[in-house]
Structure 1
């Protein structure tokens, strides 16, 4: 966390703070209301790439675990265009809640999930998988949470269908502390393409 956001303190010329979601993109009454019916869950296969056309993301995915404090780890910050998948959880497209995490920025500038806060309900997320298939997801909501009030059960909890969460830092920045919260994108599987 010391490195993340450092470019803001050193040099604000990169565009300032990342976008925050508008209230219109929030969960309705704190509940996930999918914009469409969920697709049929897929068999397990590790993600290898994530594409989010609405914010220009096209990034490789690497497996991550938990850090020393038991929190979801992030991918190395040496590659700003790298997302992480929680490898002890379900794979994107499987029944349950799959987790992808990425840096919002690094000491050298904006990173892979810098634009998450600008996503809108109904936008598409494509996850390419090791078996050659692609899982298609639709954004249901985008929220920002203070780190002290992060709803772990809601974000990480089991789901009855195939869901996806994208997580990055956000919610304001304070010198010496870094980002004060997290941006979370809620999405559900709408369909898939089998091995090409």
Structure 2
């Protein structure tokens, strides 16, 4: 059942600006079948931020595309890696980390309801599983995404926000850059997050893959 959208204050991600990654990175598929050919792709160094002007978080960069008014997202598409998934609302766990969608719904992604909606000024956050017990999940191939790739988000107002990827990085949980990932932005930005990095059979994935994108179109 779709959650009712409620704006609880000024858009922002302050509640998750000091926590790390996602709530669950167990790697259920790898845990069942062992590490090897099943490991998801990880981003190369060539897909990382190119420099300070390429980074988000408080910079005075203005988008060439006007920001959109707030509207909840209903679907995300990433054609380059075959993603076409419905979205559900996400909150925070009791520990303060970002929730993830139910593990048994492998093609379901989620968006952080207390933050910006995709397309409005600020940093919108979408998250999903890399796998579940049955195999690859919605963001299994996220680490293979390249700069310049398009991300399309269907909004409940009938519009589509189109984002262009400007960086793809992987972080160890101990070094997760909360401010960079979740921090404020002066233009419409999007983060797409899943589990990634090294894998341990006892603790699961050791970090997260994060895609950075900014609004470049609307229709």
TM-score range, shorter chain: over 0.9
Counterpart residue number, 1:176? 202
User: 1:125·1:137 contact (CA, 8 Å) conserved in 2?
Assistant: yes
Q: Within the alignment, does 1:55 sit opposite 2:81 as a pair?
A: yes
Taking structure 1 as reference, are residues 160 and 3 closer, same or farther at Cα in structure 2, changes over 3 Å only? closer
User: 1:3·1:107 contact (CA, 8 Å) conserved in 2?
Assistant: no
> For residues 52-91 of structure 1, what are the structure 2 equivalents within 5 Å?
52-91=78-117
Counterpart residue number, 2:50? 28
User: 2:63·2:187 contact (CA, 8 Å) conserved in 1?
Assistant: no
Match of 1:117, SS state, is helix
Taking structure 1 as reference, are residues 5 and 31 closer, same or farther at Cα in structure 2, changes over 3 Å only? farther
| Partners of 2:106 and 2:185 in 1: CA distance | 30
Counterpart residue number, 2:142? 116
Match of 2:126, SS state, is strand
| Partners of 1:12 and 1:39 in 2: CA distance | 46
Match of 1:61, SS state, is strand
| Partners of 1:156 and 1:3 in 2: CA distance | 19
User: 1:92·1:162 contact (CA, 8 Å) conserved in 2?
Assistant: yes
| Partners of 2:177 and 2:75 in 1: CA distance | 27
TM-score by length of 1: 0.92
Match of 2:54, SS state, is coil
CA RMSD, Structure 1 to Structure 2 (Å): 2.0
| Partners of 2:35 and 2:175 in 1: CA distance | 31
The alignment of Structure 1 onto Structure 2 pairs a total of residues equal to: 192
Counterpart residue number, 2:215? 189
Counterpart residue number, 1:145? 171
Match of 1:81, SS state, is coil
Structure 1 residue ranges (4+ consecutive) displaced by more than 3 angstroms after TM superposition: 1-4, 12-15
| Partners of 2:36 and 2:74 in 1: CA distance | 29
| Partners of 1:2 and 1:100 in 2: CA distance | 15
Match of 1:141, SS state, is strand
Taking structure 1 as reference, are residues 6 and 118 closer, same or farther at Cα in structure 2, changes over 3 Å only? same
1:2 CA displacement: 6.9
| Partners of 2:137 and 2:144 in 1: CA distance | 14
Q: Within the alignment, does 1:95 sit opposite 2:117 as a pair?
A: no
Counterpart residue number, 2:10? none
User: 2:25·2:205 contact (CA, 8 Å) conserved in 1?
Assistant: no
| Partners of 1:88 and 1:12 in 2: CA distance | 37
User: 1:26·1:141 contact (CA, 8 Å) conserved in 2?
Assistant: yes
Match of 1:74, SS state, is coil
Taking structure 1 as reference, are residues 99 and 23 closer, same or farther at Cα in structure 2, changes over 3 Å only? same
| Partners of 1:30 and 1:100 in 2: CA distance | 24
Match of 1:155, SS state, is helix
Match of 1:10, SS state, is helix
